[in-house]
Amino acid sequence: MAGNPAQWPLPPWGNALAGATGAVLANAIVYPLDIVKTRLQVQVKQKSAESDSLTTNHEHYTSSLDALRKIIDDEGITGLYSGISGSLIGVTSTNFAYFYWYSVVRSLYLSSQTIPRPPGTAMELSLGAIAGAVAQVFTIPVSVITTRQQTQLKGDRKGLLDTGREVVLGEDGWRGLWRGLKASLVLVANPAITYGTYQRLRELLFPKKANLRPWESFFLGATSKALATILTQPLIVAKVGLQSRPPPARQGRSFNGFLEVMAYINEHEGPFALFKGLAPQITKGILVQGLLMMTKERMEIVFILLFAYLRKVRDTRLRQMANAVAAQANAAADRTKGAIPMTVK
């Protein structure tokens, strides 16, 4: 293939691998923020007239900094990394699946056009939603287990498999591993808005630029993620409420759906509580998305160059094999010609 190797397209699994690598690195760096935002989102504020605490934890957090301080005081630094193994497994699988299917559906869309041109905003959002929905169906069990691990009390912590077994042995059985699937399918709007906005901003601000600088990727990723998070925060809070243990005030009764979670929060805390944990959610989202897209751009270049090198090695070996076969054929022909006896008329 002619041209600059950095402009060669990656196969879908190459895009998926680059995206998953970037996502793991980004989420590992900001994981403590994930713990803080989850703890804030699952608690329900206490009311002075109620004797029974409505929060899922013994500690009640008044802010992100308060949650950070209390988690460290009660559980140590390791408390900020509770459930990180399951989380990174989930991040890897979700992002690999998302970027793979996003590359596939986008390639199919472009190939179906008579005159190839970049998809518009609505189509970008649709393609992202399709990819996100497919990814969620296969990866949500890890998300359920991770949320449970992040909200476990210090003396009740379990490993990834034990937490999964606890979910399965609960009232929902195996279906419990897919709790929050409906909310997750609705939440495909989040990555759809994120990546759709990212693509549109890239085309507007950096047209015809094959590879972005790290700060350019970070800016586009952070901006697009902040917008998507603000628009979908109530659903994010409802999904976390579905996947975690119910508040003690419900006496062990699980929520039946994300609408019931939202109604419960609205009844006890008011409508603005549907945006609780927004600050750490946006901060985490901006950092993760910025680092993810910045890392993904770099990893794509690495994989493209790697594939170019492998193609070159393969082509060189094929030429060597072809030359060897041709040489053997010529030698055989010469031997055959020398073996034929001459006849004199």
79 Cα distance to chain centroid: 23
DSSP H or E segment with residue 293: helix 278-339
pLDDT in tens, 213-240: 878 888 888 888 888 888 888 888 888 8
Cβ(145)–Cβ(170) below 8 Å:
no
Q: How many residues does the chain have?
A: 345
Instruction: Quote the CA–CA distance of 206 and 298 in Å, as a whole number.
Output: 17
Tokens of 71: 């988690």
Cβ(59)–Cβ(74) below 8 Å:
yes
Instruction: Quote the CA–CA distance of 127 and 103 in Å, as a whole number.
Output: 9
Residue by residue, pLDDT tens for the chain (345 residues) are 444 444 456 666 777 777 778 788 888 888 898 888 888 888 776 554 444 444 455 567 888 888 889 889 888 888 888 888 888 888 888 878 777 878 788 888 888 877 767 777 677 777 777 887 888 888 888 888 888 877 777 667 777 788 888 888 877 788 888 887 888 887 877 777 887 788 888 888 888 787 788 788 888 888 888 888 888 888 888 888 887 777 777 777 778 888 888 888 888 888 888 888 888 888 887 787 777 767 777 777 777 777 778 778 888 888 888 888 888 877 777 777 665 555 554
Tokens of 12: 């879908």
Cβ(168)–Cβ(177) below 8 Å:
yes
Taking the CA of residue 15 as centre, how many other CA atoms within 13 Å lie in the half-sphere pointing to its CB?
16
Instruction: Quote the CA–CA distance of 181 and 239 in Å, as a whole number.
Output: 8
Instruction: Quote the CA–CA distance of 273 and 293 in Å, as a whole number.
Output: 30
Instruction: Quote the CA–CA distance of 305 and 131 in Å, as a whole number.
Output: 26
DSSP labels, 10-32: PPHHHHHHHHHHHHHHHHHHTHH
DSSP H or E segment with residue 91: helix 84-111
pLDDT in tens, 333-343: 777 766 555 55
Mean pLDDT of the chain: 78
Q: Is residue 296 helix, strand or coil?
A: helix
pTM exceeding 0.75? no
Helices (H) and strands (E) in the chain, counts: 11, 0
Taking the CA of residue 155 as centre, how many other CA atoms within 13 Å lie in the half-sphere pointing to its CB?
1
Angle at 231 between CA 230 and CA 236, to 5 degrees: 80
